[in-house]
Amino acid sequence: MLELITAIYGLGCWLLFKKFRLIPINDYTVVTAVLVPIVVYFFGFLLLNMHAPVAKDVRLTAPVTPIIALVQGHVSEVVAEPNTPLKKGDVLLKIDDTLYRSRLEQVQAQLELAKIRLDQATKLAKRNAGTEFDRQGAEAEVERLMAAVDEAEFNLANCTIVAPADGMVTQELVRPGQFVMPMAFSQLMIFVHNEQSWLGSFPQQALQGMANGEAAELAITAAPGHVFSAQVERVVPAMGEGMVAASGQPIKGAYDRAPGRVLVMIKMTDERAADLKLPVGTDAMATIFTTDRHLLNLVRGLIMRIKSWENWIFH
């Protein structure tokens, strides 16, 4: 963009000074011709960076949930197809539930017997033919088996793993017959939620002017030649550079990391974006209009459209 403006300005100077000789060449005109673009560039880009900041590293993001088994066993069936839209509650895969179903039936039978024993102990205690101690023991056994039934039902239900939300499954490497167990690092598949947003990092100079709901624009690399209207969804109130973890070392006064950039979540509001097929991770360029200075917004909007057309060639 800067090169294009400089080229146009240089062409104008050549036409005025050399071609048509409308302006005489002397020390005053030459110095003025050199200083004018420098001053305009300096103050123009200063105001643009403050009131219409731009982020060149915007990414389309989505929450990701690792799918981990809560019970151990062999996978009996993989139901979900990879990269296929799913609804919350749709079955992803099934684990062989033979042992868990048998365990549930076992504790249910034990519970029925314990209830009979409790009823008998209660009647005997009322007739002074049994002790209160025996009745309390029978009651405790019933409560223990009721808890065991709940646990068995929980394990049996978790033999069928369902989608936690609307979305799709990707990186589905699990296959029938594979043995799985409830371990944090043993991920069966990755579930990508439908809740998508654009995440970009902006310079800290424009932080004081940013607010939720402000107008924004996106120039998506996968859609060259188009600029889409958007809106600031949320300004992330923390940066990784400011996080301090507990350790055995005192906090240093000098920071090794470079100053961080402000993370902003941007929501697409342009209806044309509904026709785009954009995978999570698609990159874009974004700008936020933090004020009502229409001239600055116009200039930044022009720059965004030029950058969007450049995506045909340079990206």
Asked whether residue 102 is assigned to any structural domain, the reply reads yes
Asked whether residue 248 is assigned to any structural domain, the reply reads no
Asked whether residue 36 is assigned to any structural domain, the reply reads yes
Please check whether residues 121 and 189 belong to one and the same domain.
Answer: yes
DSSP structural state of residue 176: T
Please check whether residues 100 and 167 belong to one and the same domain.
Answer: yes
pLDDT band at 18 (very low <50, low <70, confident <90, very high): confident
For the chain, the domain total comes to 3
Please check whether residues 134 and 204 belong to one and the same domain.
Answer: no
Please check whether residues 23 and 83 belong to one and the same domain.
Answer: no
Residues of the chain with pLDDT > 90, as a percent, come to 55
Asked whether residue 253 is assigned to any structural domain, the reply reads no
Enclosing domain of residue 29: 1-51
Distance CA 260, CA 240 (A): 7
Please calculate the CA angle 165-262-63 and round it to the nearest 5 degrees.
10
Q: In what order do the strands lie in the sheet with 73-78?
A: 160-162, 91-95, 73-78, 179-180
Please calculate the CA angle 54-285-289 and round it to the nearest 5 degrees.
40
Please check whether residues 73 and 47 belong to one and the same domain.
Answer: no
Tokens of 228: 């889409």
Residues of the chain with pLDDT > 70, as a percent, come to 97
Which secondary structure element, helix H or strand E, spans residue 6, and what is its range?
helix 2-13
For residue range 52-93, list pLDDT tens digits in order.
999 999 999 999 999 999 999 999 999 999 999 999 999 999
Contact present, 68 and 187 (Cβ < 8 Å): yes
Does the structure show a pLDDT above 70 at 258? no
Cα separations in angstroms, 77 against 31, 84, 154, 180, 251: 78, 17, 19, 13, 52
Does the structure show a pLDDT above 80 at 114? yes
Amino acid at 270: D
Please check whether residues 39 and 77 belong to one and the same domain.
Answer: no
Phi, psi dihedrals of residue 42, rounded to the nearest 5°: -65, -55
Asked whether residue 175 is assigned to any structural domain, the reply reads yes
pLDDT, position 110: 95
Pick the closest to residue 152 from 215, 209, 93, 104 (CA basis). 104
Distance CA 134, CA 142 (A): 13
Distance CA 310, CA 313 (A): 6
Does the structure show a pLDDT above 90 at 36? no
Please check whether residues 222 and 149 belong to one and the same domain.
Answer: no
pLDDT average, residue stretch 269-292: 91
Asked whether residue 73 is assigned to any structural domain, the reply reads yes
Please check whether residues 229 and 124 belong to one and the same domain.
Answer: no
Asked whether residue 185 is assigned to any structural domain, the reply reads yes
pTM (2 d.p.): 0.77
Please check whether residues 46 and 103 belong to one and the same domain.
Answer: no
pLDDT winner (highest mean) among 16-30, 90-104, 176-190, 270-284: 90-104
Please check whether residues 170 and 78 belong to one and the same domain.
Answer: yes
When mean pLDDT is compared across 11-20, 171-180, 268-277, the lowest value belongs to: 11-20
Tokens of 57: 């590293």
The H-assigned helical ranges of 164-314 are 294-310
Please check whether residues 11 and 41 belong to one and the same domain.
Answer: yes
Please check whether residues 58 and 200 belong to one and the same domain.
Answer: yes
User: Average pLDDT of the chain?
Assistant: 89
Asked whether residue 250 is assigned to any structural domain, the reply reads no
Amino acid at 250: P
Phi, psi dihedrals of residue 199, rounded to the nearest 5°: -120, 120
DSSP structural state of residue 286: E
